[in-house]
Structure 1
């Protein structure tokens, strides 16, 4: 049950933003075995003054098209699954909506399964 927060510079059209949602969902389905309809994502857009990044940190040449993707997920995936997810996200975002791999920044936050309530005040995974 991943929860995704996506942040990018404002000004991209709706089709671009929807392509990000679609590509991220597909990458999670393919690499993390996320069930169908398990889509919980929010996107925030930021003016240039409110969006800062290192343009060359760790030798990666980033541009103003940088997209931050923070994924909160159960701590049940292997290192190989995580690497596959990062690789597939960059591939799919490159295909649609056309984001350079250098501009795909992903952070995975892992939590214990009992730390979720998916509605009704219940701990569904506990």
Structure 2
């Protein structure tokens, strides 16, 4: 049920790289209990200046290698699971040459009944 959005600058990371980043995020989500095959991702590249980031916010030096990852998922993960997810994503992208400082992850938690996977139905909502 997670919906993942990965945004990068086209000049730094191409569509192939974003696809590989998507694999890293999917693997990290699987490690915190997301079911196999539950993969919905939007991979977007942007022109220079189309993504704005705090280049030194919280004392973290960021570059145009910046990768923004937003994950919308069901509420209920523990803080330990979230920390594990953040670390797994940063570690996985670092193995691909992305600076850990350039990995930005935002979780958006929602109730299960807020999803429709098709057919105009709320598949995870309780009957009622």
State the TM bucket, normalised to the shorter chain: over 0.9
1:118 alignment counterpart? 117
Supply the distance in 2 between the matched residues of 1:111 and 1:15 (Cα, whole angstroms): 30
2:52 alignment counterpart? 52
Supply the distance in 2 between the matched residues of 1:15 and 1:44 (Cα, whole angstroms): 11
The CA deviation string for residues 77-117 of structure 1, in whole angstroms up to 9 with x for no partner, is 11110111001100011112x21110000000000111001
Where 1:20 maps in the other structure, the secondary structure is helix
Instruction: Give the C-alpha shift of residue 18 in structure 1.
Output: 1.8
Contact 2:14/2:45 (<8 A) preserved: no
- The structure with the greater share of residues assigned to helix is 1
Where do 5+ consecutive residues of structure 2 fail to align?
none
Supply the distance in 2 between the matched residues of 1:45 and 1:15 (Cα, whole angstroms): 11
Supply the distance in 2 between the matched residues of 1:18 and 1:125 (Cα, whole angstroms): 28
Instruction: Give the C-alpha shift of residue 52 in structure 1.
Output: 1.3
For 1:77-116, what aligned pairs fall within 5 Å after superposition?
A: 77-96=77-96, 98-116=97-115
Q: Aligned residues, how many?
A: 124
2:26 alignment counterpart? 25
Supply the distance in 1 between the matched residues of 2:45 and 2:15 (Cα, whole angstroms): 12
Instruction: Give the C-alpha shift of residue 13 in structure 1.
Output: 3.3
After TM superposition, the score normalised by the length of structure 2 is 0.92
Supply the distance in 1 between the matched residues of 2:15 and 2:7 (Cα, whole angstroms): 14
Instruction: Give the C-alpha shift of residue 55 in structure 1.
Output: 0.7
Where do 5+ consecutive residues of structure 1 fail to align?
none
After TM superposition, the score normalised by the length of structure 1 is 0.94
2:6 alignment counterpart? 6
